[in-house]
Amino acid sequence: MNWPNLKFPPINLWSAPMQKIDAGKHYRYSYKGVNLDPFRIAYIYKIESFAMMTILKKCLCAGKRGHKDYSQDLRDIISAAERELEIIAEDDKVM
């Protein structure tokens, strides 16, 4: 295969500054010098269930994340709560 003889300047990927994208910035707040986000709040309250963490996250930012509206977040909260109840029932049967 004949490649065209193109001349490109060398690129050093290690020296180029990486632009950090903060995908979770809409979850983070600072209150009295303490950084608060769903992870910190879940840790403080000792929430271990993934469904409960999902509910917490959606409650804190319902309708504010841009890609889902408030009503959809409420439906997601209900769905996560229903799944948590299913897990509890499943665990009761097993134990």
Question: Using one digit for the tens of pLDDT, what is the confidence trace for 3-39?
Answer: 566 666 666 656 656 677 766 777 778 889 888 888 8
DSSP H helical ranges for the chain: 38-44, 50-60, 70-94
Q: Decide: 87 and 51 in contact? Cβ < 8 Å.
A: yes
* pTM metric for this prediction: 0.67
pLDDT of residue 10: 63
pLDDT of residue 8: 63
pLDDT digits (tens, 9 = 90+) for 26-77: 777 888 988 888 888 999 999 999 999 999 999 998 888 777 899 999 999 9
Token output for 59: 């409650």
Residues facing residue 35 across a β-bridge? 30
Q: How far apart are CA 19 and CA 21, in angstroms?
A: 6
pLDDT of residue 54: 93
3-class secondary-structure state, position 26: helix
